[in-house]
Amino acid sequence: MPLSSELTLASSPRAAADARRWVSDVCRKLERADLVECAELGVSELVANAILHATAPFKVRVRGTASHPRIEVVDGSTNPPLPPALPAPRDGDDLDLLLTFGRGLAMVAQCAVAWGATIEADGKVVWFEPSDEMTDEVVAEWVVDHLDETGPEPTSDAAVEVQLLGVDVALYSALGRQYNELRRELRLLSLSHQSDYPLAGDLTSMFANFERQFPDTYRTQLRDAQDRGLPRVDLTFPMMRESAPIFVTMTEMFDVADAFCRAERLLSMARTGPQRTLHNWLLGELIHQLDGRSAQPWPGYSRTTSSSTSRVG
């Protein structure tokens, strides 16, 4: 059963109601009607908080797995939300508890078995996994995940200069967004449900090692091309020859991840056909050039016919 990937919300009072209806529908499609009440309450609070305190764009989406669905509210602010200061319950005074504790993020915590936030370059994601019933106390730990830093610039004589010629910038950007969501998905599963999804931790470690093979200049050149609106770009950067086996393994792992997504073992989206083709070309170029072969451009690329294409660096 295919799921809508996300819902874009208007910056208006109706956003919370739209999010509630959409999340309720997704939970029922996942055959998780038991989660609807907490899902609706939690997403209402997160959307209202985003509209009041953050900036557009606002989106709501469902990730995770059918067994452990996670509701995410995305906004355009990089200011991290702070977990609420939780007052101690007063014996025999349930009304006071609801008035002081059942507000904002505190209410989300009451509706969740896990919750947290991710701060990204262009905004943040605040998320929670809905419980099957609301509780009077918070048992879920607030989780803020941080991606690993990139590796150092290769400087030894063993470094090889790699060229990726004619990279389709828009297609690469879409692939990058898909990769980042998958990467974060696996990391959150490994943090919240390691015993249920042991492979998520293994893949997270593999992805982190994969990312460390790329120097900062690689990402800097890509960001510059995106900022300049270039349709194509030539990239040149150093890379260690010993990285090749990692790229061979990751080519297979990305296909495994796609299979998980298509089988709905993950609720993230698999790579599209064009994204997979670009990814395989890119990884193949890295493997071949580290083995001593010459660079082969992305199909359809011609320096003589593409005046807006530029090498960045």
Q: Are 47 and 15 contacting, i.e. CB atoms less than 8 angstroms apart? A: yes
Q: What is the DSSP letter of 295?
A: P
pLDDT along the chain (313 residues), means of 10: 74 93 94 95 93 92 92 91 54 41 71 88 90 81 64 67 97 94 88 84 91 94 96 96 95 94 88 96 98 93 49 45
- For the chain, the structural domain boundaries read 6-144, 159-311
Question: Architecture of 6-144 per CATH?
Answer: 2-Layer Sandwich (3.30)
pTM: 0.79
Q: What is the DSSP letter of 68?
A: S
Q: What is the pLDDT of residue 235?
A: 97
Q: What is the pLDDT of residue 14?
A: 92
Q: Is the peptide bond before 215 cis (omega within 30 degrees of 0)?
A: no
Q: What is the pLDDT of residue 193?
A: 84
Residues 6+ apart with CB under 8 A from 170: 231
